[in-house]
Amino acid sequence: MGRIVVISTGGTIASRWQGSGFAADADGSEVMATAPLPEGMTVELVDLFSVNSPRLTTDHQLTLLRTVHEVLADPGVDGIVVTHGTDTLEESAFLVDLHHHDPRSVVFTGSQRPMGTADGDGPGNLYDALLTAATTRGLGVLVAFAGRVHAARGTVKTQAVALDAFADPSKELLGKIGFGKVTVLRTPQRPAPLPLPAMPELPPRVDVVVHHADGDPVLLNAAVEAGARGIVLVGTGAGNATPEIVDAVRAAVDRGVLVALTTRVMAGPVTEIYTHGGAVDLVAAGAVPTGTLRAGQARIAVLSALLASGEAGERVRVLRDVLGAGGSVLVDA
């Protein structure tokens, strides 16, 4: 069935009881020992790190990105599986997808229950991810979880503890896994891949600020003063805030900060409907609407744009292209 490389990064799938709670503890070989392999498959392991995914940093994620590219430099590799904690899986998967230029699949998976539990979901998810990596092509970076296949773009964690943890609330399911077969239901749309970024000595700071009733610009201004080079504003509704926040966004943009606008609503796009502090005014002030991408992936889009260029206008162009809102459009993978 092929040669698959598994990159192990920790998460619940590698977690054991620590006396007061669970934490990533097992190495990749222990994780791999929990799951059967699809027939005829050869698996190799890269034990990258073993951490709970809320502790991941930009350095971790860029190291993972570079490792994926290094593995795919070998033409004898048929696909990659990344085992990852579920809390930030959507961010790492999207980062890899934005820079993925190869027809071979990179499939992220993990678990909601720790390794060694009688009802654990890790072994089944890992088997499904291996099967998906070996039998799919041209779909970009994928997430295999609970018998379903999701495109990295737009997929978020929608359940805190339930086994069916991931979905794209704004799009139909990409595929299903069952009885030793992967069934692809649609082709994801992706922009042209970005070049592999350099490893910066100090990654750019990108903060997320959430609007709410009685919200004011204090936290957004504090992010700017703390040195943020990018900010994701999570608006209400279709991407709305207040006139005072519009002024703060304009001031941040004037200082060269890259501002993206998303919404705290689960599904649907950011849309320029309302003024008096709404998306109409925020976009006019320089915020870039993120379509259906939510906060975590919008932050990755901003980070990637900052890593791609040091010039403010070019960063905006790259961000719009990444979002499918600029010179390039989302195309079938």
**Residue 12 known to be catalytic:** yes
Out of 12, 58, 86, 135, the active site residue is 12
Q: Are 141 and 82 in contact (CB under 8 A)?
A: no
Residues acting as catalytic residues: 12
